[in-house]
């Protein structure tokens, strides 16, 4: 199971910026992250971003870290292994 915050991820990947708010980011702006069509809606864009995060976690990508490892007091709702991968220097 994965989770990502699409708007924060768009900023971290430098797709969103002061000049281009995350709400103005179109699906076509994310095409460098995936192959093939990812649809046209914001929901489809966000789903593609979630899949991208899952890929980055499974294939350890440079510049991505597991935020759970640096969290002082993480809060979990399961006893299973938990990871939260996010780009810090992409």
Query: What is the average pLDDT across 61-74?
Result: 86
All residues at 6 or more sequence positions from 25 whose CB lies less than 8 Å from its CB, including other chains: 10, 15, 16, 45
pLDDT at 18: 93
Burial of 52 from C-beta contacts in 10 A (0-12 / 13-18 / 19+): buried
53 falls within a domain:
yes
pLDDT at 26: 82
In the chain, the number of structural domains is 1
- The number of residues in the chain equals 90
Could you tell me where the DSSP H helices lie in the chain? 6-12, 42-58
Range of the domain at 69: 6-87
pLDDT digits (tens, 9 = 90+) for 7-43: 888 998 899 999 999 888 887 888 788 777 766 788 8
pLDDT digits (tens, 9 = 90+) for 35-57: 777 667 888 888 888 888 888 88
Higher pLDDT, 61 or 40: 61
Statement: residue 1 has pLDDT above 60: no
Closest-CA residue to 10 (of 2, 25, 1): 25
1 falls within a domain:
no
Q: Which two tokens stand for residue 76?
A: 């979990």
pLDDT at 3: 65
């Amino acid at each position: 199971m994965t989770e990502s915050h699409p708007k924060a991820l768009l900023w971290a990947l430098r797709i969103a910026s002061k000049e281009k708010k995350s709400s103005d980011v179109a699906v076509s702006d994310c095409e460098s992250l995936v192959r093939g069509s990812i649809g046209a809606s914001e929901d489809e864009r966000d789903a593609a971003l979630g899949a991208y995060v899952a890929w980055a976690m499974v294939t350890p990508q440079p510049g991505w870290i597991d935020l759970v490892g640096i969290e002082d007091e993480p809060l979990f709702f399961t006893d299973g292994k938990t990871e939260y991968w996010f780009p810090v220097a992409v």
